[in-house]
Structure 1
Amino acid sequence: MMKSLRKILSLRSNYCIKQRSEHGENSVALPVQLPNCNDCDHIVVEDRKNSTTTEGAHVEPKHDANADSSFVHAVINMVGMLIGLGQLSTPYAVEKGGWASALLLIGLGVICAYTSYILGKCLEKNPTLTSYVDIGNQAFGTKGRYLVATFIYMEIFMALVSYTISLHDNLITVFIGTHLKMKFVTLTTPQILTLVAILIALPSLWIRDMSSISFLSTGGIVMSLLIFVCVAATAIFGGGEGSNNHSIPVFKLHNIPSISGIYVFGLGGHIVFPDLYKSMKDPSKFTKVSIVSFTIVTAVYTSMGFMGAKMYGNDVQSQITLSLPPNKIITKIALWATVLTPMTKYALEFAPFAIHLEHALPNSLNARTKLVIRGCVASVLLLIILALALSVPYFEHVLSLTGSLVSVAICLVFPSIFYLKIFWGKITRFLLVLNISLVIFGFLLAGMGTISSTKLIWQTFISHHST
């Protein structure tokens, strides 16, 4: 798994170096993706000129010698990219939406598998495309490129806020009974603990070589799998006091808009799929990779959702780790895995912005000055994220807002629109209707979910500060 992840990173790095040598210093910095685990949605800066090809131009497909990821490696990477924060909140979503809402989760899994397939078709049609942003550029030119880049950066930022909230919530449980105070600063113990954790992670933002921090990607995957194993073991051997075989409501229609954002967020990973496609030894198997990967991830989420909802019923927390029996060693393992997961994310998530910033700086600055500037800016942004997470520590609502406002566009709407634009006039009526329906469905899901989650954040914020 580590080997295949490093190969993808190496492939992207080699391609960027090649582009710099071909286009020289006057090339334009455009954002593209870097593969990583789920909620990690990444873009790096690729020095290249506008790659939009002329309509109807014939492009000879080229196979990169470094693209040697096998079918199994590709499945492992895609599953690792997808599984993340979503599994923590799926039990909460299943309980709040009713067991029938799991059908929505499964349906969204099928839709996301399809949209990953059509992204592969776009890449197949024009082999010069190498990233999600490139596809947007091919479909709608410069405006499409920057619109997509904006949404990707928004998702990165909001996902990091969610990770920081998760860090804050689980640290409370890990260090329960601990009391800390700081002179001249009115912070609670959980806030101080979160601040300390952020300060520990801060130096990783100053690392310039992506290969040096690529191991963090594998660390995030291992932590996610460890959490699932701990929850499954708890369900099998007993969930502790207060757990039982609770009945799950059939369906709660009024909660569907908010939990749909949680479901979509958990299935988001599309911005790194083009990199995964390009890294495959046989890209024609990308469709099978998507089907197998989304089947595995949807099965994991659904089983996690039912296990947590059945164990704790209406008392299930927005993060399943917070519902586990506090005194068991397996709970401590799950909690520490949840705490360490955000620590593996910050450097990888910030790398795209940091690299983009460095390329935007004047060439007259030396490498050390650029490193200091990008490190300082990234550190300030992380502290801003910390402030937001501590100000609005409502994990499930922020996660839902991220899924509804941003992930729906990246996973459902954009791929269908790109496919329609690039293949316009060359697809069957069925596919035309299907993709238009997905765009409409995506807009409805995004609109209702954004309104619902925003309202819940506001109501919770007012209620919290009025008591």
Structure 2
Amino acid sequence: MKAANCVICVEESKVCACASEANAKATSSFTHSVINMVGMLIGLGQLSAPYALENGGWSSALLLIGFGIMCAYTAHIIGRCLDDDGGGSKSYQDIGEQAFGSKGRIVASAFIYLEIFFALVSYTISLSDNLPLVLAGVHAHAPWLHLSTAQLLTATAVLVALPTLWLRDMSSISFLSLGGILMSLLMFATVAWVAAFGGVEGSHEIPALRVEMLPRISGLYMFSFAGHIVFPNIYTAMKDPSKFTKVSIASFAIVTLLYTALAFMGALLFGPAVRSQITLSMPPRLGATKVALWATVLTPMTKYALEFAPFATQLERRLPPSMSSRARRLLSGGVGSALLLLILALALVVPYFEDVLSLTGSLISVAISIIFPCAFYLRIYWARSSRASVAFHVGLIVFGAAIAGMGTVSSSQALIRSIRRGH
């Protein structure tokens, strides 16, 4: 986006703005952008990585690393698609429309809202699982509500986090992202401390490979790198968008290294007893465990604003131009708040963390993070692509579709079994 390109027409809102004004709103530095991207990626994936590695075998780490490399590349081509449109595309949906017209926008929007919804359901389930351990001994009761103590504590925590949905500036949200990163690093440090000084027999042998488990754990691994719907927001908020590829490489390298290290550490430490969230396997008597549990509880509360950012942005752009900015913010914040309450209700009704997370990764994250970016790129750059480039991107699409299909079937069956056992 250059100041010389003085007019950019945004069709949805029928508002024209100077590129110089858009640049004035681009306040994120390289460091801010890395913080936002790492903050978007890091979180639930590290909790489930040891469980996935132990169930899939140590060689399944190659799948984890492979997903990290593929998603770093698809983040790069998202930036290429935004470059090609000369600043006209501002969001993931815009890229879908740029590639496939209104149908592309509709499909992209549907998957984006599904990913936001189910990701936040998973975060809230994690909050519900860990919060009672953090506040062990606390008893809450509401005579007019048929909820357990754990459910009431979870509802209270979500209500505390709800005001963050009203934030819009990416630089402000980056402080929440930084908080999420610090919590994640704290979790990693506490697991390492338990391995070194916690008195846990950490000599379990990880199986080489369990082929039958790969479809299910692929969803857990894939969810670890699902953040592509926010990447256009990060790109457009950058002072220098030409550095977006470097931001992607740095961010995915950090996250992949952290996930892989924690996966091996947790699997070796707890072996077959490792649970779907590593914090639930740690010895409750240790102070390090309490620190890890607090970090796990606080992490979802730093995620709500960044996950909701694309939804809020699109909603505000679709509102009538005659509405004031204050009215737009009030409406989008109110809708977001209502959705978060719906997410809370679903998380309390279907509290099966690993099944919901795996299904989300397989059914939605693979499409948004691998299949769609490659399809968008092929469509936009078709006339300028070599045969080798076309074959490469088609191969990624086919691979993603195969992983998504097998993972969705496997995780859906597991979720149905969990629901039946629950009843």
Q: What is the TM-score when the length of structure 2 is the normalising length? A: 0.88
| Correspondence for 2:368 | 410
Residues 92-122 of structure 1, C-alpha deviations (whole Å, 9 max, x = no match): 1001111111011111112112212222322
Matched, 1:323 2:307: no
Amino acid at match of 2:105: R
Note the alpha carbon deviations across 1:1-37, whole angstroms, 9 max, x for none. Answer: xxxxxxxxxx9xxxxxx98xx869xx624xxxxxxxx
2:279/2:292 contact within 8 Å kept: yes
Match of 2:70 in 1: 111
RMSD of Structure 2 on Structure 1 (CA): 3.1
- Per the alignment, residue 221 of structure 1 pairs with 181
Q: Is the 8 A contact 1:62 1:127 kept in 2?
A: no
* Residues 386-465 of structure 1 mapped to structure 2, 5 A cutoff: 386-465=344-423
Residue ranges of structure 2 left out of the alignment (5+ in a row) = none
Match of 2:97 among 134, 137, 142: 137
- Asked if 1 retains the 8 angstrom alpha-carbon contact of 2:35 and 2:174, the reply is no
Q: Which residue of 2 aligns with 1:163?
A: 123
Q: Which residue of 1 aligns with 2:210?
A: 252
- Unmatched tracts of structure 1, length 5 or more: 1-10, 12-17, 30-46, 50-59
Q: Is 1:335 the counterpart of 2:319 in the alignment?
A: no
Instruction: Give deviations 1:258-290, integer Å, cap 9, x for gaps.
Output: 111111111122223334444555544443433
SS at 2:383's partner residue? Answer: coil
Whole-Å separation in 1 of the counterparts to 2:314 and 2:236: 22
Distance 1:320 1:69, change over 3 A: same
Q: Distance in 1 between matches of 2:110 and 2:27?
A: 31
1:84 alignment counterpart: 43
Deviates more, 1:361-370 or 1:157-166: 361-370
The whole-number CA distance in structure 2 between the counterparts of 1:137 and 1:149 is 10
TM-score by length of 1: 0.80
Q: Which string of whole-angstrom CA distances, capped at 9 and with x for unpartnered residues, describes residues 386-422 of structure 1?
A: 1111111111111111111111011100111111111
Give 1:300 deviation, angstroms: 0.8
Equivalence for 2:152: 192
1:274 partner amino acid: P
Partner SS, residue 424 of structure 1 = helix
Aligned positions of 1:277-292 closer than 5 A: 277-280=235-238, 283-292=241-250
Kept in 2: contact 1:408–1:446 (CA 8 A): yes
Letter in 1 for 2:37: M
Instruction: Report the CA distance between 1:364 and its aligned residue.
Output: 7.8
* Whole-Å separation in 2 of the counterparts to 1:285 and 1:213: 20
1:127 equivalenced with 2:86 (yes/no): yes
For 1:363 and 1:132, locate their aligned partners in 2 and report how far apart those are by CA, in whole Å: 22
Separation in 1, partners of 2:238, 2:328: 34
Deviation readout 1:29-84 (Å, 9 max, x if unpaired): 4xxxxxxxxxxxxxxxxx658xxxxxxxxxx9999466576655544443333212
Question: Which is worse superposed, 300-309 or 218-227?
Answer: 218-227
> What amino acid is the match of 1:110?
I
1:255–1:145: structure 2 CA closer, same or farther, 3 Å change rule? same
- Counterpart Cα distance in 1 of 2:301 and 2:190: 20
Aligned residues: 416
Q: How far did residue 192 of structure 1 move?
A: 1.6
Q: 1:308 to 1:460 in 2, by over 3 A?
A: same
- Aligned counterparts of 2:49 and 2:64: Cα–Cα separation in 1: 9
Pick closer, same or farther for the CA change 1:212–1:98 going to 2, 3 Å: closer
- The change in CA–CA distance for 1:366 and 1:137 in structure 2 (over 3 A counts) is closer
Q: Evaluate the alpha carbon distance shift between residue 48 and residue 269 of structure 1 in structure 2; reply closer, same or farther with a 3 A threshold.
A: farther
Aligned to 1:314: 272
Shift of residue 313 of structure 1?
Answer: 0.4
Whole-Å separation in 2 of the counterparts to 1:64 and 1:207:
20
Stretch moving more, 144-153 or 452-461: 144-153
Structure 1 Cα separation of the partners of residues 370 and 211 of structure 2: 22
Give the match for residue 36 of structure 1: none
8 Å Cα contact 1:61-1:127 kept in structure 2: no
| Contact 2:230–2:309 (8 Å) recurs in 1 | no
2:15 aligned with 1:28: no
**CA distance in structure 2 between the aligned counterparts of 1:63 and 1:28, rounded to whole angstroms:** 16
Identity, % of aligned positions: 57
Q: Deviations over 1:232-258 (max 9, x none)?
A: 2222323x45x4211011111111111
The 1:271–1:375 alpha-carbon spacing in structure 2 relative to 1, beyond 3 Å, is closer
Q: Distance in 2 between matches of 1:261 and 1:404?
A: 4
Note the alpha carbon deviations across 1:276-310, whole angstroms, 9 max, x for none.
44455554444343333322211111100000000
Give, in whole Å, the separation in 2 of the partners of 1:377 and 1:283: 31
Whether contact under 8 Å (2:170, 2:237) holds in the other structure is no
Q: Secondary structure at the match of 1:271?
A: coil
Of 129, 135, 138, the residue aligned with 1:175 is 135
